[in-house]
Amino acid sequence: MFKCFQVPMFIYPLVFILGTIIGSFLNVVIFRLRAKKSFLKGRSYCLKCKKQIAWHDNIPILSFLILRGRCRNCKTKISFQYPLVELSTGILFVIIFFHNYQLPFTNYYLLIIDYRLLITIFRNLFFVSILIIIFVYDLKYYLILDKITIPAIIIVSAFNLLLGFSLANILISAIIGGSFFLIQFLISKGRWIGGGDIRLGILMGVMLGWEMALLAIMIAYVIGALFSVILLIFKKKGLKSQIPLGTFLSMAAVIVMIYGNEILEWYLEILTVY
């Protein structure tokens, strides 16, 4: 038996700061995907006055607060998306890190030695970053980009192969995750579901395993239905208007990735009580 150690507290603020920096990068990725520019090179600049943003005005969350959400040069308002994405990424990184290190065999020694634990954390942080991009992008533009989902499917599969999952296991999960949407796509001749949803279904299958992927899809539909009802009550949208399914799917995938086991246990408990 291994001894149980607590991860030192100072790790969490560091993970949070790392998360906000990654979140800042995700904002750049979202913007440049839309503008069809490379997101690996070039400095950030103000959209209005085109002035380059200095490094000290580009600090996640803090710069937005200090500048009160406006460009230093031309005072144009900066979208709330920027600090919100940075903050959410930071919080999700801390939750994922905390969750993985709650495993009973965790200790300092294993933090370095147990490469599987490290790979799991990297994989989960990567996956949540991808889901944040899909969440924002689908919400803003009603699109799930293949440029994001297809490389993510390959990278997450590689992570899972490293973790010792069998190729058959990964393929079955991909097929089940994708076919849920493929069937609807075929029945509706592409009216209910877009091709992007199918690719996202495959990604969720590969990442979560098919059982958890189906749970996530179920939760996404519940969130989506609640959201539609609220919008209808406030008459924001007509019945025919588009619903960003990718936004709900990515939200549900994050919830299930972190709390999937707890949700299943709770659900089975309810089933056995009644």
Give me the residues that bind Zn ion (CB under 5 A), please: 46, 48-49, 71, 73-74, 76
Provide the minimum distance between the beta carbon of 58 and Zn ion in the complex, in angstroms, as a whole number: 13
**C-beta of 37 vs 70, nearer to Zn ion:** 70
Give the residue carrying structure tokens 């919080």. Answer: 91
Provide the minimum distance between the beta carbon of 26 and Zn ion in the complex, in angstroms, as a whole number: 22
Burial of 227 per CB tally in 10 Å (0-12, 13-18, 19+): middle
Q: What does the block give as tokens for 20? A: 């906000």
Provide the minimum distance between the beta carbon of 137 and Zn ion in the complex, in angstroms, as a whole number: 24
**C-beta of 70 vs 147, nearer to Zn ion:** 70
**C-beta of 49 vs 183, nearer to Zn ion:** 49
**C-beta of 64 vs 93, nearer to Zn ion:** 64
Count of alpha carbons within 13 angstroms of residue 182, beta-carbon side? 9
**C-beta of 82 vs 180, nearer to Zn ion:** 82
Alpha carbons 57 and 78: distance in angstroms, whole number:
12
Burial of 230 per CB tally in 10 Å (0-12, 13-18, 19+): exposed
Q: What does the block give as tokens for 78? A: 């900066």
Provide the minimum distance between the beta carbon of 69 and Zn ion in the complex, in angstroms, as a whole number: 12
Provide the minimum distance between the beta carbon of 72 and Zn ion in the complex, in angstroms, as a whole number: 7
Strand partners, 52: 45
DSSP letter string over 168-209? HHHHHHHHHHHHHHHHHHHHTTTSS--HHHHHHHHHHHHHH-
SS3 45: strand
**C-beta of 46 vs 87, nearer to Zn ion:** 46
Provide the minimum distance between the beta carbon of 22 and Zn ion in the complex, in angstroms, as a whole number: 25
